[in-house]
A and B are shown apart, each in its own frame.
Chain A
Amino acid sequence: MNSSLKHRNHLLSTTTTTLLAASIVAYLFFALFYWGHLNYSEQMQMFMYNETYIKHLLQQPGGLISIVARWFTQWYINPWIGAIFPSTISVLFGFLISKKISNRNTYFISAFLLMVMMHFTLKDHMMAGAMAMLLTTCCLFADIKSPVWRIASSTAISVIAGPLAGLTYTLSSFHRIYELLPPLLVFTLFQTTVSSQYSFIVNFLGCEYYRDSLELRYEPYITGLFIIFIGQFRRVAAKGYVAYVLCALSVIAFSISAFTSRAEEVVLQYDKLARQQRWNDIIHLADKHPLSSKTAALYTNLSLAQTGRIGDKLFHYEQFGEECLIPRFMIDPFTAMAGAEVFYWLGLVNTAERFTFEAQEAIPNGDKSVRAIKKLAQCNIIKGDYKVAMRYLSMLKQTACYRRWATQAEEYIKNDRSDDVAEWSTIRKRMINDDNYFSERDFDKTLAQLVVTSSDFGISYNYLLSLSLLKKDLQMFKEYYRPQVFKDKTPLYYKEAYIYNMLNDGSLHLKELQKSDHTLANRIQSFIQMYQANPDDSRLSQFKDMFIWYVAYK
């Protein structure tokens, strides 16, 4: 008797310790390392406290769980609060599974599930998938004996969390084949009535579980299969070797996934920092991680320009062509939004509005984005289209986390004090004066127009010169470069391009240059000598931060 109690207490304390440890690990994982993903999920939706929005979600299969999941997701805006939800779900899930099997080895199995559940919250997964599977596991854990109650539970899960969850539960708990009918009936009912606007396949495969319903994700199916396996083959699952195999699988799968999504996470972090205008933090991030994508370079260059350092630092970071300065439009919410940020700060507000709008429309599940709506409101405030701005603000006022901002913005409009907001008045000053049709091909002309408009040779002028450098277009550089603008503080790369240009056309000799900028002249000279001797010389990599190197090797 005493020994049994002791054993149970031991198990309980082991469970508590493991649970606590897992909770802390999961929480820290999300809060410290994956806050970019949390931010992305939060920004890609807009949870509105209004009847029509809720009604629309309820019309989807699994709409109820979708509403709950979206409600949680809105709090991802703060990673320290947001991280509570995915970590709690992950840990609860693992705990329920291990308790179901009642074997200490199964903590390894639960680790497997924990990892999968973590994935549910990354990038284009929506939390609804994780919550649907958690609900399924809760019912499985309840170990319902009565077939009537099992059928009732299965029906309820199908209604609340979608047919995929209902089917998973049924398959993991059924004793008789007719128990499979409820989720199928619920699904058929949904399909022929409220959800008839969705195609069969989209509905049945859990369209509410991930953002792009046309691109199936493997996690819900793996998790579903796992729950079914646990439900039907508990004893096998409880065996040590099965647990270890699953544990090994989880470690491998998650490591691969985490490795690949880590790069994605860094880019998502750039995105959040840019949204918050933390330009120095972006540069700091770029210093820590070598730039691996055009979007990261785009944000880094924007930050350099915003802090007045682009002319001195441009080639300190990897560049991948002119798209690192001027984004090309792509039907992708993330890159289009990054483009919108650049145009916004350049003062091309109409273009920023277009990119923002397109970014929102490119969200595959048709959700609206708080980020986009806020930016659209800002663009219209800056342009003076207050009625349109009010419409967007009115939408934001129906959210929990943006209500305050929207109310304040509305006050500025009503009291005609929008110039009091430094950001808006700055961009208003940068705005282009003449109307033209936007052209990616002739963007330098648009930038030149912006320079004329702002007449302070600020960000647009630096973009114009930097663009000529990234395009390796020295003619363009020559056309727009005005050394007197910088007085005695000419940025390094403009100086280098100027010298390189003069060397090319023979109008400047290096000896003359030595008199003015000794260090730069020596570096140019060394590079030229080394390059002419052997372009494959590995020592040339020491000039990687020079424009001349970019011209030669990129």
Chain B
Amino acid sequence: MVRSLQIKSILLITLISLYSCQTDIRNKAVVTNEQPPIYSDIDSIVIPRNIAPLNIMPSIDILSDCEGVFVEILDPDNMRIIESEGEKSTKINLEEWRSLLKKANRLQITIYINKKQPTQKEPVWERYRPLTVFVSNVEIEPWVAYRKIAPGYEVYGKMGIYQRSLETGSEHIILENSKTHNGCLNCHCFSNHSGATFSLHLRGGSNPGTFIKRNGTDRFANVPKEELGGSFVYPSWHCDGRHIAYSVNKTQQMFHTKSHKRIEVVDHWSKIVVFDTETEKYTTNTILSSDSVFVTFPSFSPDGNWLYYCKAKAVDIASESQNVRYALCRTPFDAQSNTIGSEEEILFDAPSRGLSATFPRVSPDGDFVAFCLCRYGQFSIWHPESDIAILDLNKGTIRVDNNINSSDTESYHSWSHDGKWMIFSTRRANGLFTQPYIAHFDLTTGSFSKPFLMPIERIEDYNDEFYSYNVPEFVSDKITSQDICF
């Protein structure tokens, strides 16, 4: 009895001291009306109700001067509050966060940073202008799959395909190249966001080939490389989970001697084929494969009736690499008869405006096409000017939404199953390391809300790790390394 009382007293004292510590921060803090200097802006963003906690870290330029960060998150409508404190970042309790988000429509986030001052010996807590975060009732896919690779040139060391829970922020490995004798892993692609049907390329290493998981079986596609002139590259699954459109590209990398651009990736030729995973035969036609044009970035419409792609007039790359510009096109596709249409529709003649369109992705309702726009070429990923544009297929209008674009590269993008969220890669943090951002999409207006950095358990990893997040794709279920057998 006495022992139990002692324990309770200790617990009570601990809680009181913790609370008083935080009260102390509130009382001590110098109030400013400035925007908090944090890593990745969260003011006025829209988040899904099932998202993982948005932990806070001071921005890189002041990180070394910070000795503490404290955040209070208030649901002003229900008068509930949660708090978190850390030395360099917050670690918001997942259960408390979930419980808060259950009822909240908006959050008021107040950030305190304990910052060293040039004139004072001791750091000073500063309280910044409270930020508002809007909570959407529209839930997001529980998982995102992406590749992590150092943002480099030709040589690659460690890389892997990983999956992160958007609901908890935790990450696990799908496949790392340590398992394939340091080969390259790329172009992971899912059919209808399903973790049970996907494909993946393995280059070099111990198991090279195009890996396909479908109907519970794992195998490597029988790619007629010699006949095609190369391997499969950019993929897109048809909604029937049987056909995959692939581009075949003869690619070369070139390196800038002086420019903030580092790399240019060019195609000497490219074409598109539709691969039938059951018969292991491929189909193409002169629209998708011709010496006079470069055709790449296939993307099936969600209903499977159209194949979207990007097309440019073939040029001599050695002398005209900066004059190649791609238009956004589509052609009908009939999965039943495995037939590609004979007519082509140019949806956006980007070259006529001195631009190049790449990476088209059709929204699940089939009304919008998101794609990248850059000044020239096909590898917008290394073009700082690359932005995500939206083509409204009903109105025929193009919109480059300032809400999601930045002064740096926006590149790969992927729609959620209902088209209400988009995840995309951007180099906005520093111009080199790609990070995944998520934005809410309003299907009625065709516009995006302000995006937010994908929440992860330890936000410092965005700064500490040496990797870029490539090809973020929403996935509806969990995939583990045991799901890939070869």
Contact = CB atoms under 8 A, between A and B. Distances in A.
B382 to A, nearest CB: 13
Nearest to B465: A52
Contacts of A394: 60, 63-64, 463-464
Contacts of A397: 64
B298 interface: no
B19 interface: no
A434 interface: yes
Interface stretch (B67-75, B109-117, B151-159, B436-444): B151-159
Interface in B157-188: 157-158, 160, 173, 175-176, 178-182
Interface string B172-206: 01011011111000000000000000000000001
A432 B259 CA distance: 10
A407 to B, nearest CB: 7
Contacts of B175: 197
Contacts of B433: 388, 391
B465 A387 contact: no
Contact of B259 (A52, A357, A435): A435
B258 A433 contact: yes
B343 interface: no
Interface stretch (A244-252, A363-371, A539-547): A363-371
Nearest to B429: A387
A357 B152 contact: yes
A410 B460 contact: no
B63 A358 contact: no
Which of A196, A361, A431 has most B Cβ within 10 Å? A361
A394 B485 CA distance: 38
A172 to B, nearest CB: 30
A395 B464 contact: yes
B429 A361 contact: no
B264 interface: yes
A351 B463 CA distance: 24
A254 to B, nearest CB: 31
A368 B158 CA distance: 10
B353 interface: no
A362 B154 CA distance: 10
Q: Would you call the interface of chain B mostly helix, strand, loop, or mixed?
A: loop
A118 interface: no
B458 A52 contact: yes
Interface in B224-275: 254-260, 262, 264
B449 to A, nearest CB: 25
B262 A362 contact: no
Contacts of B429: 387, 391
A214 B182 contact: yes
A364 B177 CA distance: 12
Given A50-B460, A197-B178, A353 B154 contact: no
B431 A48 contact: no
A71 interface: no
A438 B155 contact: no
A397 B60 CA distance: 12
A354 interface: yes
Contacts of A360: 150, 157
Contact of B257 (A351, A366, A388, A414): A351
A383 interface: yes
A385 B256 CA distance: 15
Given A197-B160, A438-B256, A357 B153 contact: yes
A487 B259 CA distance: 35
B264 A437 contact: yes
A348 B463 contact: no
B461 A366 contact: no
B215 interface: no
A52 B154 contact: no
A475 interface: no
B64 A350 contact: no
A435 to B, nearest CB: 4
B257 A361 contact: no
Which of A383, A387, A410, A432 has most B Cβ within 10 Å? A387
B257 A368 contact: no
Nearest to B88: A50
A114 B155 CA distance: 37
Contacts of B157: 360-364, 366
Given A52-B461, A391-B430, A394-B63, A196 B264 contact: no
A361 B150 contact: yes
Which of B158, B431, B433, B458 has most A Cβ within 10 Å? B158
B482 A438 contact: no
Given A50-B460, A52-B464, A362-B157, A197 B258 contact: no
Given A361-B150, A394-B63, A331 B155 contact: yes
Interface in A327-370: 331, 336, 348-351, 353-354, 357-358, 360-364, 366, 368
Contacts of B312: none
Contact of A357 (B150, B257, B481): B150
B61 interface: yes
A393 B335 CA distance: 53
Contact of B152 (A202, A358, A364): A358
A198 B175 CA distance: 9
B212 interface: no
Contacts of B463: 391, 394-395
Contact of A432 (B176, B181, B257): B257
Given A197-B160, A391-B433, A435-B259, 20 more contacts: A50-B460, A198-B176, A331-B155, A349-B258, A354-B153, A358-B155, A361-B150, A361-B155, A361-B156, A385-B260, A387-B60, A387-B429, A391-B463, A394-B464, A395-B466, A410-B64, A431-B258, A434-B258, A436-B258, A437-B254
18 contacts: A53-B464, A197-B173, A197-B176, A197-B179, A199-B180, A214-B182, A354-B153, A358-B155, A364-B157, A385-B430, A385-B432, A394-B60, A432-B258, A433-B258, A435-B256, A435-B257, A437-B256, A438-B256
